[in-house]
Structures are given as structure tokens and as C-alpha cells.
Amino acid sequence: MFGTATVLNKHVVTYYRCSLCGFIQTEKPYWLEEAYATAITNTDIGLVRRNVSMSRVCEAVILLMFDANGAFLDYGGGYGMLTRMMRDRGFDFFRFDAWAPNLFAADFECVKGRRYELVTAFEVFEHLAEPRSELEAMLTYSRNVLFSTRLIPDRAPPIAQWWYYSPEHGQHVSFYSRKALEAIAGDFGLYFQSDGRSVHLFSERKIGTALFAAASVVSRVAPWLFSPLRVRLRKRDLLNDDYFQVTGKKP
């Protein structure tokens, strides 16, 4: 046992920590239906800024490491904001989420059985009660998964001393150390890269550490550096194309 916390201000819940890899997880989360009565918790006030930031990271990773003309899937994509933002950048993105309504990309839902160049899953892994089975589901769409989740600090903080546990809304149930993510990648025959903090990649081919670090850093501090590459690849926004597809009108 790692500790206990009061989840949703009413349920006393036990958290467990793996002695081998440091992975932390709650007991079986019987409260999830209650926690997801509102799919996006009202304490997630960073949702818009996170989507802006992740869209830049996503664009950088795709331009440097993947086929920018492929199709992409945002898994656990919430209201569809990232999908819409990436389509506005010229990337053929689609969205899947089992809990949230698709408000911003309603006509660009996941196509069952389709393979994608890359799956993104930003702020999803900490919500997974069964991470391995959920990752298996993601891998049916692509063997490349770009995702974000905060790594547990080297010395795992008590539940009351780390905001990311977030027992007040009850949606965060799994927490990962770098060692845990490396073990998961190995079990699925994947390579693993991380910025050491919150952005990570499972991939079917080896990606250089320096390249991944560059994509992560540059996307945050100087995203304009990727403009020449976008021009060379002739990436233009899909807004007009999407409008005519959604409305059925002709250009």
C-alpha cells in the first residue's frame, strides 16, 4: 500500500505502488461513472492552453519523424479541440473518446478498423484503470503513440503533496514512473522516448533521443522554425475543405 485519499470528497480510496517499477494506481475505481458525470472536470482550467501547447508538440513530432501526409487519430480526444486545431494546421486528424461529446470535430470521428500513421493520447494515460488493455486498443490503430502524462518524481510524493493525483475529481487513477513506461514499451515490443517530464512516445522504430528532445523543446520555444518545413511539404489548413465536406456545398 502506498497511501489513501478521499476521492470525490466522499470515497476513502487506497493507492498501491509497484516495488519494481514505481507505478502507482488506485484500487479498482468503482467511482468512475460518478467521476465522469461531467466528462471534462471543471478543475481542468488548463484545457485550452494544453491543447495549444500539445498541437505545437504534435506538429513538430509529425514533421520530423512521421509521414505528414498520413492520417492521425487523437485517442481520448475530449471535445475534439486538438483534432480541429491539427486539421487547421493541415494534418488529417480524427478523434475518438468514450466519454466526452465531440463538439469541435463532429464529422471527423475515428474510423473503426483503419490504420493511422500516429495515435496521440494527451492527458489520457492517468485516466486508465487498465493501461495495458487500453494501450492494446490504441495499437490496433497504430504502432506509434505520442502521449502526455506527468512522470512520478524520483521520490514519489505523498498523495497530499502532489497536485497530479487530483483525488478531488476522481478521474486520475494511474501514475507512471519512467521505468514503468519503459517496461510497458518493452512488453509490447516498442521503443520509448520521453522529454523526462510529461511528453512521451511509443514507436515501432527507434527514434533518436536528440531528435525527440529537439522536437519537444523547439515546439515550445520557437515553433516558427518549422514553417519552412511546412511550406516544403505543402501543408495548408483543411478548414475550407472541411467546411465543404460538412455542409455538402461545392467550392
pLDDT tens-digit map of 72-119: 999 999 999 999 999 998 999 999 998 889 999 999 999 888 999 999
Where residue 188 sits, what CATH number does that domain have?
A: 3.40.50.150
Q: What is the pTM of this model?
A: 0.88
Q: Where are the beta strands (DSSP E) in the chain?
A: 3-7, 11-17, 24-26, 71-75, 92-96, 118-122, 145-148, 174-175, 191-194, 199-203
Better-scored residue on pLDDT, 232 or 47: 47
Domain housing 54? 3-247
* Residues near 18 by beta carbon (within 8 Å), at least 6 away in sequence: 24, 180
If one counts the domains in the chain, the total is 1
Which pLDDT belongs to residue 98?
A: 87
Distance between CA atoms of 100 and 239, rounded to whole angstroms? 23
In three-state secondary structure terms, 218 is helix
